[in-house]
Amino acid sequence: MAAEPVFVAIDFTADVLRVLIAEQDGEQALQREEWPLPELADEDAWSWEVGGRVATLFAQDGARRSAIGIGIAAPGTIDAISGKLVRSTGQPQWDGLAVVESLRRHIDAPIVAESRTVAALSGERWQGAAGGASDALYVSLRGEPSAAVFAGGRPVRGAHGFAGAMPAAPELRDSADAADAIEAVVGVIADATALLDPEVVVLDAPDDELARLVPLVQRVVDEIAPGPQVVPAALGERGALVGALLLAETVAYEGGLSQ
């Protein structure tokens, strides 16, 4: 019996691994799993842990599956060409982790990696709050604050790959005064909105912060750069995994064209 072709989406943080396996048409999720991640000291440990989890799902309950595209959402700055995690916001020893190549040692399939923030914005544009917007700003205030930008339908990476850094991150993370921290980050978001002129600004944060932030940012944006709509993320923590699924579908299609 021939193996069933599937897409694989992988999203990992410092301590959590999420995997989604979907049918070839991308419409039906066959399996969705989440596991805690232990400390993984090097590339080999990471690739065996992640690759092993995916391989287990391929054969679970007697299934025979074969990946035709794998998308990975990684915590930090990804070099889009090499698929290397240049700067990790997950476990610190992952700086320089060759995400794509280390997984390809165990799974022979087209693989692409992207930062979790860019993947989350891709997910929101595909199935969430950004609704296919060509020009969009996404800001995540979960963990270390980070942002992603799409301009003309493409992610903005910057000259050195570090577009999306949040200058207010230290204030938000370290300030003893929560009001000052929020004021700092709202100011950065509003300034970025004025500079980029997106159609939509998507904010992701814990629920108790989100309800307060969205109207606050909208009010400031309306004062300095009216036009963009500020909305809460529709996918929340699922955004990066949904974006990784879109990456898997894209790399499978492009890989098929190149063969």
Average pLDDT over residues 42-49: 94
Cα 257–Cα 83–Cα 237 angle in degrees, nearest 5: 100
CA distances from 169 to 14, 147, 187, 189, 247 (A): 18, 11, 12, 11, 28
> Residue 229's CB: how many other CB atoms inside 10 A?
14
Amino acid identity for residue 6 in this structure: V
CA distances from 10 to 16, 99, 125, 250 (A): 11, 11, 18, 14
- What average pLDDT is seen over the chain? 89
Share of the chain above pLDDT 70, in %: 90
Between 60-64, 100-104, 207-211, 247-251, the lowest mean confidence (pLDDT) is in: 60-64
Residue 245 near residue 18, CB atoms below 8 Å:
no
Residues 187-231 pLDDT 10s: 889 999 999 999 999 999 998 888 889 999 999 999 998 999 999
Average pLDDT over residues 172-198: 77
Q: Is the pLDDT of residue 40 over 50?
A: yes
**pLDDT at residue number 180:** 65
Average pLDDT over residues 40-55: 93
Average pLDDT over residues 180-185: 74
Between 12 and 144, the higher pLDDT residue = 12
Q: How far apart are CA 79 and CA 56, in angstroms?
A: 28
Tell which residue, 239, 252, 251, 201, has the closest CA to residue 115.
239
**pLDDT at residue number 75:** 96
Q: Is the pLDDT of residue 174 over 70?
A: no
Q: How far apart are CA 229 and CA 44, in angstroms?
A: 44
Tell which residue, 13, 8, 210, has the closest CA to residue 108.
8
Tell which residue, 250, 220, 62, has the closest CA to residue 153.
250
Average pLDDT over residues 92-116: 94
CA–chain centroid gap for 55, Å, is 22
Q: Is the pLDDT of residue 114 over 70?
A: yes
Domains and CATH numbers, the chain: 4-118+237-258 (3.30.420.40), 131-233 (3.30.420.40)
Q: Is the pLDDT of residue 26 over 80?
A: no
